[in-house]
């Protein structure tokens, strides 16, 4: 049977489809219309929406199995010729002209405009203070006085007090972006295409070396460790050693997270339903956390890593902020609400370097809230191949709250004080996993480098690895190799250390810095980032206070 042929769609036609509300993206030179699949996608609709108008080949390949990619072919509607130049997706603020618009430019002219590093179409989004008004020295490695550029926040002397302080934020944004432009390879098409080609070659080499194959013997050791921890939890509970029992249960939960993470990425059997069931048993039945919520959240995180408006993994307002951009009360495209920079947020951000680890101690409680919100509100697919996952998860949640709250806290512990202490300790002990997750990204770039940055460069710019001895791998559970994991999410975690050397060679070849820090140094960088943002908030408050106290509220000058 002859393979189906597809019409060639012009850039202008694709823009018109997106303007009409269609969820269209490019995959291996084919045009896909994902509208029918949005409500069925097990990874949530947001992940797809962030790919609209973009070449999603690398993101789709990284996050999906070969079988899943083959099933996607039913959504092909056409093909393209030549190199695709990314639009900015509507969810990120991109604007598109309908085909009925009479002011139509030819594709060649639009591609010429896009090669400047701005939007693929001057009308496709609002003006960016970074990319639409580049300063002449933006790509230079040194300032005019010969000194390297810096993002000093030590004083307000460099900020004109003639506005509401927003120019100060714009200055920081441009400084951060300039530093990233100096540090990482050029965003021109030739450089980025070379990086993508070598990244794809690396993927083929990883496959050839069998690094996508799961080491089931390693999981036998994991299961043994889990069993020992769970057994000690029950034994100490029986003996009335409640603190020791709570510590063992917390350690059990800490370790379980790593295998649930593997299952969520189909990194165990590589089978969608098999790994999902494994993940639900671990996360929901034993840990009280929703695997479906995690998938929806985590897929977006992998696609728009460290983007303050879009990545839920760095959206912790009003308690924490890792970028000055949160001072603008921006709207989260993931949570669909404004992250208000209000009085409470200003207070919390002022002390965030000191409250960071305290907040992480109670991070699991927030995950309960997010899990139940996902399940009760039905945010996952209700039809399609994953329709039954929600009901299995609700069953798992019921099971968890029954055995933990009724069986352990109520039946096995005699008084309320011991129950409270047990609850507190068992939920505080898994804190390191929250620190490990934050460590990988909080100190890395949050700059918006525009739509033409390649997937591998973005992952390497926004993620760090943690250097630790091999014998300690069990404690980090693969999260110490987040750079490798973000580049190749489906590689089983027990193969990440072997893959690390290949990734380091790739980074050296393409000239992208590979961020690798020790656990202590990495934590210092995270706390340092939080302290820097705290200082920036204080400076902004001073700017605004001077303006509010002046006689001229517009220009901030006394007369």
Strands 337-338 and 30-33: unpaired
Beta bridge partners of 338: 331
pLDDT the model gives residue 171: 85
Specify the 3-state DSSP secondary structure of 103: coil
**Phi-psi domain of 385 (left: phi exceeds 0; alpha: psi -120 through 50; beta: other):** alpha
pLDDT the model gives residue 546: 81
Of the candidates 340, 304, 293, the residue with the CA atom closest to the CA atom of residue 93: 304
Of the candidates 153, 537, 540, 545, the residue with the CA atom closest to the CA atom of residue 345: 537
Distance CA 259, CA 559 (A): 66
Query: pTM of the entire structure?
Result: 0.87
Digitized pLDDT (tens) for each residue of the chain, 559 residues in all: 567 899 999 999 999 999 999 999 999 999 999 999 998 898 899 999 999 999 999 999 999 988 888 889 999 999 999 999 999 999 999 999 998 865 555 554 454 444 433 334 434 434 343 444 433 333 333 333 333 333 333 333 344 444 566 777 788 889 989 999 999 999 999 999 999 999 999 999 999 999 999 999 999 999 999 999 999 999 999 999 999 999 999 999 999 999 999 999 999 998 899 999 999 999 999 999 999 999 999 999 999 999 999 999 999 999 999 999 999 999 999 999 999 999 999 999 999 999 999 999 999 999 999 999 999 999 999 888 899 999 999 999 999 999 999 999 999 999 999 999 999 999 999 999 999 999 999 999 999 999 999 999 999 999 999 999 999 999 999 999 999 999 999 999 999 999 999 999 999 999 999 999 999 999 999 999 999 999 999 988 888 788 777 755 555 554 4
CA distances for 5 relative to 8, 39, 40, 55, 359, angstroms: 10, 27, 26, 20, 55
Tokens 């939920």 sit at which residue? 427
Distance CA 62, CA 485 (A): 10
Q: Which tokens go with 151? A: 């993002």
How many Cα atoms sit within 13 Å of 404 on the Cβ side? Answer: 22
Q: What is the DSSP letter of 90?
A: G
CA distances for 26 relative to 70, 76, 121, 360, angstroms: 15, 9, 17, 39
The answer to whether the bond into 318 is cis (omega within 30° of 0) is: yes
Beta bridge partners of 26: 31, 55
Residues 6 or more apart in contact with residue 171 via CB below 8 angstroms: 158, 159
């Amino acid at each position: 049977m002859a393979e189906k042929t597809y019409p060639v769609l012009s850039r202008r036609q694709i823009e018109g489809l997106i303007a009409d509300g269609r969820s269209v993206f490019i995959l291996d030179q084919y045009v896909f219309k994902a509208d029918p699949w949005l409500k069925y996608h097990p990874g949530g609709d947001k992940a797809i929406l962030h790919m609209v108008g973009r070449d999603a080949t690398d993101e789709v390949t990284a996050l999906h199995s070969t079988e899943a990619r083959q099933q996607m072919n039913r959504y092909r509607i056409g093909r393209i010729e030549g190199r695709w130049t990314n639009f900015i997706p509507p969810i990120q603020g991109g604007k598109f002209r309908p085909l009925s618009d009479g002011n139509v430019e030819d594709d060649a002219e639009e591609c010429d405009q896009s090669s400047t590093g701005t939007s693929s179409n001057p009308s496709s989004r609002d003006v960016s203070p970074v990319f639409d008004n580049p300063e002449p020295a933006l790509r230079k490695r040194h300032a005019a006085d010969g000194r390297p550029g810096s993002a000093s926040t030590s004083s307000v002397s460099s900020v004109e007090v003639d506005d509401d302080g927003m120019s100060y934020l714009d200055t920081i944004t441009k400084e951060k972006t300039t530093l990233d432009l100096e540090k990482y390879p050029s965003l021109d098409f030739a450089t980025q295409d070379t990086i993508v080609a070598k990244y794809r070659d690396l993927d083929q080499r990883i496959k050839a070396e069998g690094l996508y194959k799961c080491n089931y013997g390693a999981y036998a050791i994991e299961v043994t460790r889990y069993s020992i921890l769970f057994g000690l939890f029950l034994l100490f509970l029986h003996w009335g050693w409640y603190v020791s029992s709570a510590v063992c249960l917390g350690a059990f939960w800490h370790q379980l997270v790593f295998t649930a993470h593997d299952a969520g990425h189909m990194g165990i059997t590589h089978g969608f339903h098999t790994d999902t069931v494994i993940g639900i048993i671990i996360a929901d039945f034993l840990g009280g956390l929703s695997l479906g919520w995690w998938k929806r959240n985590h897929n977006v995180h992998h696609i728009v890593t460290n983007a303050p408006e879009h990545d839920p993994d760095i959206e912790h307002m009003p308690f924490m902020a890792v970028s000055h951009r949160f001072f603008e009360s921006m709207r989260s495209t993931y949570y669909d609400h404004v992250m208000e920079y209000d009085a409470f947020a200003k207070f919390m951000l002022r002390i965030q370097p000191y409250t960071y680890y305290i907040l992480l101690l109670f991070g699991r409680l927030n995950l309960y809230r997010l899990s139940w919100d996902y399940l009760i509100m039905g945010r996952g697919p209700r039809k399609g191949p994953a329709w039954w996952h929600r009901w299995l998860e609700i069953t798992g949640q019921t099971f968890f709250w029954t055995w933990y709250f009724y069986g352990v806290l109520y039946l096995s512990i005699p008084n309320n004080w011991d129950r409270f202490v047990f609850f507190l300790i068992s939920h505080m002990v898994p804190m390191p996993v929250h620190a490990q997750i934050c460590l990988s990204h909080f100190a890395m770039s949050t700059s918006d480098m525009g739509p033409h940055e390649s997937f591998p460069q973005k992952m390497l710019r926004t993620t760090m690895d943690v250097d630790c001895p091999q014998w300690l791998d069990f404690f980090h559970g693969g999260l110490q190799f987040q750079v490798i994991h973000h580049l190749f999410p489906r590689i089983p975690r027990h193969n990440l250390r072997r893959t690390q050397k290949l990734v380091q060679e790739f980074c050296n070849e393409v000239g992208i810095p590979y961020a690798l820090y020790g656990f202590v140094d990495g934590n210092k960088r995270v706390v340092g980032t939080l302290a820097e943002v705290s200082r920036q908030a204080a400076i902004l408050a001073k700017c605004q206070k001077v303006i509010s106290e002046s006689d001229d509220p517009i220009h901030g000058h006394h007369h």
